[in-house]
Amino acid sequence: MIDIALLRSDPGLVRENIKKKFQDRKLPLVDEALALDGKYRALRMEGDALRASRNTLPKQIGGLMREKKTEEANAVKAQVEKNAARLEEIEKETQEVSEKLKAVMMRIPNIISPDTPIGKDDTENVEGVRFLEPRVPDFEIPYHLDILEKLRGIDIDSARRTSGQGFYYLTGDIARLHSAVLTYARDFMIEKGFTYVIPPYMIRSSVVSGVMSFEEMDGMMYKIEGEDLYLIGTSEHSMIGRFMGQTLEEKELPLTLTSYSPCFRKEKGAHGIEERGIYRIHQFEKQEMIVICKPEESEAWYEKMWNYTVELFVSMGIPVRTLECCSGDLADLKYRSCDVEAWSPRQKKYFEVGSCSNLTDAQARRLNIRYKTEKGSAFAHTLNNTVVAPPRMLIAFLENHLRADGSVEIPEVLRPYMGGKTEIKVS
């Protein structure tokens, strides 16, 4: 949510930002918000005047009664009662207008970074930097489900019977590899100075509406029937929600946190063959990183965070690149975002394995996350980034470490988490 002061002072900038995001349907929101803001401020001014009169009018009544001016005193009493009734109406109306204004403001996109490329959708995202040389072996790489099944590491059919499409069982060494990567990622981030956290996996609607836009919520979140609870789509949701309504000490910032959680997503829509299997699924696990910092620090943290993900993948021998998200591909709360994509030797292209985002103060305003300053308090900036998200990462891992005989090499950094194993063999 943007600052209402910015909307008042430069509505043209806000309109231009909406156009850059190719969301012209939202342009009327600017005028709607300005009208509601004007009405809200007028009500507040009238209410303040009536509250001030509560201190002065009773004194007039006392003076008039002492002067035996009963009729005039009664007229002032009537005015006091009339003012009290009006004030009650104003307080109710002010609350209603405030809620309407907030609802409109929450639909206006965050101002995007000057470094964000302008484009309509993800086809216009811009490649950044590549790390490790992509390679294609001299043997054919099977579809990832075929690799997993040959290694006796997955059971899709049973999952369809128990849970439906978009679920799976991981078994044996593949299940162990899945856990090993998460544990390695946890330790990797702890060594970077991040505090490890296991958060709640369900959150209230007040948190959901604070951490994401309404469009995202509808396309992602599963609601618990009969309760004000949603399953998290990523631990970012509950990790940021942890600080809602809080005013942090400036000396506590930056807060650097890394969290593990299962994630649950609707994943609406049909997908191609490469996105069946275990690429887009309803349930997966993820190691996440979260930073809450002062505004002047957020861009530096953005650069550090995506670099940590790159470093992690490179340490496992997986070529990756960064992809700067264009304006039309940015979710409404994001100021700037880049994807980390892993190389697929089978497809001979890169695919997304993580995403790093700077949301500036958009989430903090919605959730009222502040920090103390010399002048009072200010809204913090929030950032999030995927450390690693199996099983999507497993696709890149298996394809990049597959041997001609069907076995999979385990890179050195993961061997301590795999009981010293150097490979996963076909049984």
Highest mean pLDDT among 62-76, 213-227, 268-282: 213-227
Domain 122-424 homologous superfamily, CATH = Bira Bifunctional Protein; Domain 2 (3.30.930.10)
**What residue spans define the domains of the chain?**
4-105, 122-424
- Same CATH topology for 4-105 and 122-424: the answer is no
Provide the terminal-to-terminal Cα distance of the chain, rounded to the nearest Å. Answer: 54
Question: What is the mean pLDDT of the segment spanning 362-368?
Answer: 95
Q: Is 90 exceeded by the pLDDT of residue 51?
A: no
213, 171, 311: which is closest to 1 by C-alpha?
213
Q: Is 60 exceeded by the pLDDT of residue 272?
A: no
Q: What is d(CA 73, CA 234) in angstroms, rounded to the nearest whole number?
A: 65
Q: Is 80 exceeded by the pLDDT of residue 254?
A: yes
The residue to which tokens 């993820």 are assigned: 286
Cα dihedral angle (75, 77, 81, 82), rounded to 10 degrees?
Answer: 20
**Mean pLDDT, the chain, integer:** 92
The size of the chain, in residues, is 427
Report the top-level CATH class of 4-105: mainly alpha
Q: What is d(CA 232, CA 242) in angstroms, rounded to the nearest whole number?
A: 13
Q: Is 90 exceeded by the pLDDT of residue 60?
A: no
For 16-47, write each residue's pLDDT tens digit: 999 999 999 999 999 999 999 999 999 998 88
419, 26, 9: which is closest to 215 by C-alpha?
26
Q: What is d(CA 154, CA 148) in angstroms, rounded to the nearest whole number?
A: 6
For 127-139, write each residue's pLDDT tens digit: 999 999 999 999 9
Question: What is the mean pLDDT of the segment spanning 382-387?
Answer: 97
